[in-house]
Amino acid sequence: YEAIECMLDGDHTGGDYTGSANEDWTDEEKTLNNNRHAQQYIAVADDPSGRHVFYLGAGAEWVNELPYADGGGVSVGDGPTQSIIEFFCTPFDDLIWNSPDDSVASNLVDGLIIGFQISCPDTDQGPGQDRAFHTLSGQAATWRYAERFVDARLVGTGGATAVEEDSWGRIKASLSE
């Protein structure tokens, strides 16, 4: 099990994004607010399902599908394992778990500062048995609190990139032109 956890807060508002912020909320309100203003994705190089990106909040039935998330990858070796993965996922300013049409994806533009977090659990012993847990911010509980993400400034391509001409990255970059 090798994975990268990617957490995004597209409008950088922070806060508890797990749907558990208010003890008085009904179960319906908790579900509605689960990952509503920030989202957590898991990218897996090899998974028996063939899927490589998993959104962990309410609405996974549609958030895990194109055009919102996808990827590819491979793992080689067994202790140590080398994993290679490329993926994309969509941050939402307002994700309504049961209504893709009413959900608002973040408007990602050059210069925008978003909340961003990457965690890399080292689970060579098996799921839930972390030998190490590396994070970009060094903060605890980023699975719950988006204000603990780092500031990330988006940089537009605006021209040539270091991506090879025939790579998937180049093809994707050309679609935005």
Look up the CATH number of the domain holding residue 137: 2.60.40
pTM of structure:
0.79
Per-residue pLDDT tens for 9-48? 999 998 888 877 788 989 888 888 889 999 999 998 888 8
**How much is the mean pLDDT over the chain?**
83
Cα–Cα distances in angstroms (integers) from residue 24 to residues 28, 29, 132, in the given order: 11, 9, 35
Q: 68 lies in which domain range?
A: 3-175
pLDDT for the residue 33: 87
pLDDT for the residue 143: 83
Residues 171, 177: Cα–Cα separation, whole Å: 11
Count of the separate structural domains present in the chain: 1
pLDDT above 90 covers a percentage of the chain that reads 36
Which has the minimum average pLDDT: 106-110, 112-116, 120-124? 120-124
CA dihedral 51, 120, 94, 111 (to 10 degrees): -110
Per-residue pLDDT tens for 78-92? 777 788 889 999 999
Question: Are residues 38 and 146 in contact, defined by beta-carbon separation less than 8 angstroms?
Answer: yes
